[in-house]
Amino acid sequence: MLYFITSNNNKFEEARAILQMEMEQLDIDLPELQDIDAHNVIKAKLNEAMRHHEGEFIVDDVSLVFDALKGELPGPFIKWFLQSLGAEGIYDFVSKLGDTRATAKLIVGYADGKDNIHFFEGAVEGNIVKPAGERFGWDPIFLPKGYNKTYAQMPQDEKNKMSHRHLALTKLKEFLQTK
Amino acid sequence: MLYFITSNNNKFEEARAILQMEMEQLDIDLPELQDIDAHNVIKAKLNEAMRHHEGEFIVDDVSLVFDALKGELPGPFIKWFLQSLGAEGIYDFVSKLGDTRATAKLIVGYADGKDNIHFFEGAVEGNIVKPAGERFGWDPIFLPKGYNKTYAQMPQDEKNKMSHRHLALTKLKEFLQTK
């Protein structure tokens, strides 16, 4: 059995829609490792899941990185920046740094049940802008390159076709279909 | 037996000098939880240590927070900012935010061997300045309030008498002496 580890039902349904495979949501609370590299965060979660369960597992982690912070930060720590500063606060912060370019990344890890972990990355370049549109998280301040709408201003199905999440899950799908 | 959990011999010797108690260094590699609150990072480590060993344990964690980032960030993530940007890069970054005030904190957690964890905090206010003096980490860019020398420009014994580390360990010492 293939398990997608998340407590978020929407994430699970979106993943199932893209992957079009039989899979189950596994809502277990795995500690989040403190590491600037999302691959290590994911690897720790998959190893922990494999200690307790049989099967194949998928775990993902979102990173948002700013060109003004060497394209490395805040990385996986973006969730804490969002919690502390809010979306508008992040916009103010990045504006002051004088370079609003940013890249949104989803890293997906897949544990194949035979001790191998495979990673797939979806990345979308863009800019951090003044909040526009209503949606959770940093969607209102992320303007993807080549678009005139923030993530939050796009209808969900339009975003789902081009997002960093979509790109990463599509790569995973191709891998699972050909293995 | 009282164990101080660290891989850093200097930290251990400094703690022993301040605490003046019989204790041993325990160099075990405990995963670092991703949390903006150092108390949770420490609690996770102590709980993990208690699962594998008998005894009393001390774990510490350093946070550096900037007034420009609500006095909450980067917090425990400062180590990754230092790794990515370097001390001078952090100075540039904080300067652009227009407010260089910062607070250095050491949080110490003590597990008493009876399932209780006690926390002690040492905090020193200051400013982030252009690098001055030679020492590891962010010592060259931290100018404590009321001083005209950065941490790195102070002789080690002068710093040891006023640092966030000293303040926190002194509180722990008082607690251990009176318990």
Q: What is the pLDDT of residues B145-160, one digit of tens each?
A: 999 999 999 998 899 8
Instruction: Let me know the angle formed at the C-alpha of B87 by B84 and B88, rounded to the nearest 5 degrees.
Output: 105
Q: What beta strand segments (E) does A21-156 contain?
A: 24-26, 56-66, 74-75, 101-111, 117-128, 142-144
- Which residues make beta-bridge pairs with B75? B64
- CB–CB of B70 and A80 under 8 A? no
Min CA distance, B36 vs chain A (Å)?
6
* CB contact B67 to A (< 8 Å): no
Min CA distance, A32 vs chain B (Å)?
5
Q: What beta strand segments (E) does A20-170 contain?
A: 24-26, 56-66, 74-75, 101-111, 117-128, 142-144
Q: Kindly report the number of other CB atoms within 10 A of residue A83's CB atom.
A: 11
Nearest to A1 by CA among A29, A27, A22, A28: A22
Cα–Cα distance for residue pair A103/B158, rounded to 1 Å: 44
Q: Are strands A2-5 and B142-144 parallel, antiparallel or unpaired?
A: unpaired
Min CA distance, B177 vs chain A (Å)?
34
At A14, is the pLDDT very low, low, confident or very high (cuts 50, 70, 90)? confident
pLDDT in tens, B62-113: 999 999 999 999 999 999 999 999 999 999 999 999 999 999 999 999 999 9
Q: What is the pTM of this model?
A: 0.94
DSSP one-letter code for B163: S
pLDDT in tens, A103-152: 999 999 999 999 899 999 999 999 999 999 988 899 999 999 999 999 99
CA A149 to chain centre: 20
pLDDT value of position A92: 97
- CB–CB of B36 and A80 under 8 A? yes
- CB–CB of B35 and A36 under 8 A? no
- What residues of B are in contact with residue A32 (Cβ under 8 Å)? 33-35
- CB–CB of A70 and B81 under 8 A? no
- Which residues make beta-bridge pairs with B59? B109
A69-82: burial string, b at 16+ Cβ within 10 Å, e else: beebbbbbbbbbbb
CA A119 to chain centre: 12
For residue B29, pLDDT over 90 is answered with no
- CB–CB of A89 and B70 under 8 A? yes
Q: Kindly report the number of other CB atoms within 10 A of residue A113's CB atom.
A: 13
- What residues of B are in contact with residue A69 (Cβ under 8 Å)? 84-85, 93
- What residues of B are in contact with residue A34 (Cβ under 8 Å)? 32-35, 41, 76-77, 80
pLDDT value of position A88: 97
